[in-house]
């Protein structure tokens, strides 16, 4: 906790009870059974449509934690950019890849990998995805096939442990290069 290991012992299991109150019970959920909601007209909808579980906060529009997945699904929107778009959040996003490839960064983001986007930090698809998807024909297609990625979103700042940043040797020091050759698509008007 807070970057430190700790040990706690107790004489009994927290599950050694006669009954549970409310929804405080351990639960195993098969993410492949999640029924995906999606746009059937235009525009890539906000990722909150993929929320599996949420822990509400006292502030409307924010959560202590949302657990979101990006499972295989159909994309049928027309006249729009289908992958996750460029944005900034009022909440912090921690995105991880369980299997397959992440639809907004197919190269370099491997299963078991994760990235942290703190609140107000701009982020979005890599250059290769933008170039590929900007030229795509608008036809219905299956996306994220064989893939499962997740996101924890929270109104709180998240801190990466020192071990993860400095000691495990797995930080991608060139991650930022995925956006270096981004094509300029807007010009100043006169």
- Residue ranges at the known binding site for Fe cation: 87, 93, 123
- Residue numbers belonging to the annotated binding site for homogentisate: 102, 123
* Long-range Cβ contacts of 98-104 (<8 Å, 24+ apart): 98/31, 98/148, 98/149, 98/150, 99/146, 99/147, 99/148, 100/144, 100/145, 100/146, 100/147, 100/148, 100/149, 101/147, 102/70, 102/147, 102/149, 103/70, 103/129, 103/143, 103/144, 103/147, 103/149, 104/129
Active site residues: 44
């Amino acid at each position: 906790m807070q970057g430190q290991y700790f040990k706690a012992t107790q004489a009994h299991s927290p599950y050694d009870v006669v009954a549970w109150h409310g929804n405080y019970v351990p639960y195993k959920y098969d993410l492949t059974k999640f029924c995906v909601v999606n746009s059937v007209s235009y525009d890539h909808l906000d990722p909150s449509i993929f929320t599996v579980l949420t822990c509400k906060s006292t502030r409307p529009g924010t959560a202590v934690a949302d657990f979101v997945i990006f499972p295989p699904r159909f994309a049928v929107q027309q006249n729009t950019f289908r992958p996750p778009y460029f944005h900034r959040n009022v909440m912090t996003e921690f995105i991880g890849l369980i299997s397959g490839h992440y639809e907004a960064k197919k190269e370099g983001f491997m299963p078991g990998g994760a990235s942290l986007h703190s609140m107000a930090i701009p982020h979005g698809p890599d250059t290769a995805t933008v170039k590929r998807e900007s030229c795509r024909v608008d036809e219905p297609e299956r996306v994220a096939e064989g893939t499962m990625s997740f996101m924890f979103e929270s109104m709180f700042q998240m801190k990466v442990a020192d071990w993860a940043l400095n000691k495990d040797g797995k930080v991608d020091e060139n991650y930022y290069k995925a956006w270096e050759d981004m094509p300029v698509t807007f010009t100043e008007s006169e």
